[in-house]
């Protein structure tokens, strides 16, 4: 904006808590440290400043008195009461000494007291963080297997469950956290050796390694038998271990715990999503979804540059978005307000996100509190992560851009449900120049087999390119033929149905 002052939409409510209008207010501007501070509550005329961009940008209409109810906690979407209901622990990593770890290629382990996964007596001195987690520093010799302890579990039947691994990637290595390969090994028997060759294993590439504790989920249907192990061993598991590898030598990974949780979906869910609200989403993709009765999910880009008040050859108009929501059951999630690559910190991120979500409420667009994200955040931007959790407790969508080999090898997999990390939900970013129709169908079939959540995110739907367009329609045809096993729904619907369950 011309005055470099950030604007935020705020609701105007009556005495009964009903929205009767929407206005802007000036927030903290981008000022030098010696500059003055403006009145944060000063009203600003209009809803979007005219100098945000050029062209026919959106000017939201007035809000009809009483048309909306105030959102609940944290906006339109509140977090579920628990992310992992009916959870059962398979083992906690509390000290390096307690972890029966097979180290390879010069990998080392040590005790880390800087940020323990859970409080424990391994390091209970105050004012330290009163706990210890083992820290693995990877060498050049490949992956490492770590087992929390040698005492066997009572033989557990993991049929119908997902297995989860909690870990944290530290900024070790020459290029920061990078990507890691993470997996789980399951053993049966009274004793187990982490170097042994008989186990069930599932491995996936985690493209979203961050500098905080996070969780990866593994569907039991995706495990394979190695050595003398058999898939039937899943009914009598006595030990579980983590299998970790890093692209960068010196990558450091803190280990937290392993646990299981029963699947929460009666059948799988598939989300067909589109970035940036491009015009071909309206002209090409929405027609194909409507033919099959499928809803879609939209991720508008930076609102100030993307949304149009009227028809546009490049971008969807607001009226088109409203029509998809009202007549076809689509969801309009949130992506970014002023930029997808934010140069500012978490405090302004809060106001950016609140601005966009308030605009969705004013326009009557549903679903802005779920499936939301900013695209280009550094793994080091922890203040951004805190801001996103506050505003969008169920849906920081991150990409797994899956090449054909990664999908075929099941290194890139759908989300488990319950979702492994509700604040960083992963999706498959589709490149129709690279991905094949078989890739898309296989990814959906993995979700159908495991009662998981497959999120597909498209950018360009080129109906003029018959070969690429056929890949898109092949996925839709497969989903249409498998309605018994997988439901096509919005991201918001998937979350709502997955976490609404009887005790």
Residue 467's CATH number: 3.20.20.370
Residues 296 and 423 reside in one and the same domain = yes
Burial class (CB in 10 A: 0-12, 13-18, 19+), 401: middle
Q: What is the pLDDT of residue 31?
A: 26
Question: Which stretches does DSSP call E strand in 35-132?
Answer: 43-44, 68-69, 88-92, 100-102, 108-112
Yes or no: say if 248 and 169 are a contact pair by the CB < 8 Å rule.
no
278 occurs within a structural domain: yes
Q: Which range has the worst mean pLDDT, 70-79, 361-370, 400-409, 487-496?
A: 70-79
Where residue 251 falls among pLDDT bands split at 50, 70, 90?
confident
- pLDDT-derived band of residue 225, with 50, 70 and 90 as boundaries? very high
Domain end point (choices 210, 231, 262): 262
**What angle separates helix 382-391 from helix 346-363, to the nearest 10 degrees?**
30
CB atoms within 10 A of CB 494: 29
Number of domains in the chain: 2
Please tell me the predicted confidence (pLDDT) of residue 473.
Answer: 97
> The domain spanning residue 254 has which CATH number?
2.60.120.260
Q: Domain check: are 225 and 291 in the same one?
A: no
Is residue 451 helix, strand or coil?
coil
Which sign does the torsion angle of CA 19, 24, 71, 299 carry?
Answer: positive
In a domain, 24, yes or no: no
Mean pLDDT calculated for residue range 209-232: 88
In this predicted structure, the answer to whether residue 259 has a pLDDT above a threshold of 80 is yes
Residues 212 and 322 in one domain: no
Burial per residue of 301-323, b for 16 or more beta-carbon CB atoms within 10 angstroms, e otherwise: bbbbbbbbeeebeebbbbebbbe
DSSP state of 123: G
pLDDT for 272 beyond 50 = yes
| Per-residue pLDDT, 394 | 64
Angle CA 333–336–342, to nearest 5: 150
Question: For residue 405, what pLDDT is reported?
Answer: 77
99, 199: one domain: yes
Domain boundary among 262, 291, 318: 262
C-alpha 278/C-alpha 461 separation (Å) is 9
* 283 and 365 within one domain: yes
pTM: 0.80
pLDDT for position 62: 38
Tens-place pLDDT, residues 5-37: 334 444 444 444 444 444 444 333 322 333 333
- Over residues 299-352, the pLDDT tens digits come to 887 776 677 777 777 888 888 999 999 999 999 887 777 776 666 666 777 777
Phi, psi of 456 (to 5 degrees): -105, 130
Question: Per-residue confidence at 218, pLDDT binned at 50, 70, 90?
Answer: very high
Whether 72 is in a domain gets the answer: no
Comparing C-alpha atoms, which of 478, 467, 476 is closest to residue 432? 467
Highest-confidence range of 271-280, 347-356, 478-487, by mean pLDDT? Answer: 478-487
Strand partners, 94: none
Output helix, strand, coil percentages for the chain, rounded to the nearest 5: 20, 30, 50
Domain end marker among 211, 229, 262: 262
Residues 328 and 387 in one domain: yes
Question: Range with the lowest mean pLDDT among 12-16, 58-62, 408-412, 437-441?
Answer: 58-62
Tokens of 28: 């903290």
Q: Are 454 and 488 in contact (CB under 8 A)?
A: no
Per the CB < 8 A criterion, the answer to whether 263 and 159 are in contact is no
Parent domain of 344: 268-498
Torsion sign (Cα): 321, 325, 331, 333: positive
For residues 176 and 242, give the distance between their C-alpha atoms in angstroms, rounded to a whole number.
Answer: 21
Say whether pLDDT at 138 is over 50: yes
Rounded average pLDDT over 436-451: 96
> What's residue 502's pLDDT?
52
Residue 103: which pLDDT band, with cuts at 50, 70 and 90?
low
Question: Does residue 252 sit in the same domain as residue 272?
Answer: no
412 and 311 within one domain: yes
Of the candidates 424, 343, 362, 480, the residue with the CA atom closest to the CA atom of residue 71: 362
**What is the signed CA dihedral for 466, 467, 468, 471, rounded to 10 degrees?**
110
pLDDT class of 392 with cuts at 50, 70, 90: low
Q: How many helices (H) and strands (E) does the chain have?
A: 10, 23
Q: Which residue has the higher pLDDT, 141 or 352?
A: 352
Query: Which of 28-37, 105-114, 317-326, 380-389 has the lowest average pLDDT?
Result: 28-37
Q: Does 278 lie in the same domain as 209?
A: no
More confident residue, 213 or 11: 213
Render pLDDT for 167-190 as a digit per residue (tens, 0 to 9): 988 765 544 455 678 899 999 887
Please tell me whether residue 39 adopts helix, strand or coil conformation: coil
Query: Is the model's pLDDT at 42 over the cut of 80?
Result: no
Helix 466-481 to helix 437-450 angle (10° resolution) is 20
**Per-chain mean pLDDT for the chain:** 75
Query: Strand 161-170 to strand 144-147: parallel, antiparallel, or no bridges (unpaired)?
Result: unpaired
3-state secondary structure of 220: helix
- Who wins on pLDDT, 149 or 70? 149
User: Does residue 358 contact residue 324 with C-beta atoms inside 8 Å?
Assistant: no
State whether 128 and 208 are in the same domain.
Answer: yes
Pairing state between β 426-429 and 453-458: parallel
Secondary structure in 3-state letters for 379-434: CCCHHHHHHHHHHCCECCCEEECCCHHHHHCCCCCCECCCCCCCCCCEEEECCCCC
Query: Is the per-residue pLDDT at 490 higher than 90?
Result: yes
pLDDT for position 276: 84
Same structural domain, 228 and 325:
no
- 338 and 482 within one domain: yes
């Amino acid at each position: 904006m011309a005055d470099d002052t950030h604007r935020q939409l705020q609701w105007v409510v009556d005495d009964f808590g009903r929205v009767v209008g929407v206005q802007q207010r000036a927030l903290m501007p981008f000022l030098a440290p010696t500059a003055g501070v403006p009145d944060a509550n000063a009203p600003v005329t209009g809803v979007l400043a005219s100098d945000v961009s050029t062209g026919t940008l959106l000017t939201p209409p007035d809000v009809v008195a009483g048309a909306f109810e105030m959102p609940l906690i944290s906006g339109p979407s509140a977090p579920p009461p628990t992310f992992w209901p009916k959870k059962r622990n398979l083992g906690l990593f509390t000290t390096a000494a307690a972890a029966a770890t097979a180290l390879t290629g010069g990998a080392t382990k040590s005790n880390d007291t800087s940020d323990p996964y859970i409080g424990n007596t391994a390091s209970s001195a105050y004012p330290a963080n009163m706990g210890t987690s083992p820290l693995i520093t990877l060498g050049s010799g490949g992956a490492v297997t770590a087992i929390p302890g040698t005492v066997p579990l009572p033989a557990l039947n993991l049929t119908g469950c997902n297995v989860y691994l909690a870990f944290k990637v530290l900024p070790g290595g020459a290029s920061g956290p990078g990507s890691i390969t993470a997996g789980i090994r399951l053993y049966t028997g009274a004793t187990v050796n982490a170097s042994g060759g008989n186990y069930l294993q599932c491995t996936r590439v985690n493209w979203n390694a961050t500098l905080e504790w996070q969780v990866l989920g593994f569907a039991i249907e995706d495990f394979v038998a190695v050595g003398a192990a058999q898939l039937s061993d899943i009914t009598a598991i006595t030990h579980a271990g983590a299998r970790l590898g890093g692209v960068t030598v010196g990558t450091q990974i803190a280990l937290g715990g392993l646990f299981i949780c029963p699947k929460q979906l009666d059948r799988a869910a598939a989300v067909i999503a589109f970035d940036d609200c491009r015009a071909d989403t309206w002209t090409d993709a929405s027609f194909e979804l409507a033919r099959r009765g499928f809803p879609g999910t939209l991720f508008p880009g930076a609102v100030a540059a993307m949304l149009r008040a009227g028809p546009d050859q490049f971008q969807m108009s607001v009226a088109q978005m409203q029509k998809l929501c009202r007549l076809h059951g689509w969801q309009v999630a949130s992506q970014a307000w002023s930029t997808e690559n934010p140069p500012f910190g978490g405090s302004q991120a809060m106001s950016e996100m609140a601005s966009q979500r308030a605009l969705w409420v004013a326009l009557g667009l549903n679903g802005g509190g779920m499936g939301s994200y900013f695209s280009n955040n550094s793994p080091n931007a922890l203040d951004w992560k805190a801001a996103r959790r506050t505003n969008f407790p169920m849906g920081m969508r991150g990409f797994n851009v899956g090449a054909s080999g990664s999908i075929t090898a099941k290194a890139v997999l759908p989300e488990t449900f319950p979702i492994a990390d509700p604040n960083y939900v992963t999706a498959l970013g589709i490149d129709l120049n690279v991905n094949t129709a078989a890739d898309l169908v296989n990814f959906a079939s993995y979700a159908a087999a495991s009662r998981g959540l497959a999120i597909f995110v498209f950018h360009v739907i080129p109906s003029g390119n018959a070969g690429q367009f056929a890949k898109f329609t092949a996925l839709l045809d497969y989903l249409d033929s498998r309605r018994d096993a997988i439901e096509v729904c919005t991201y918001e619907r998937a979350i709502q149905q997955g976490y609404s369950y009887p005790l």
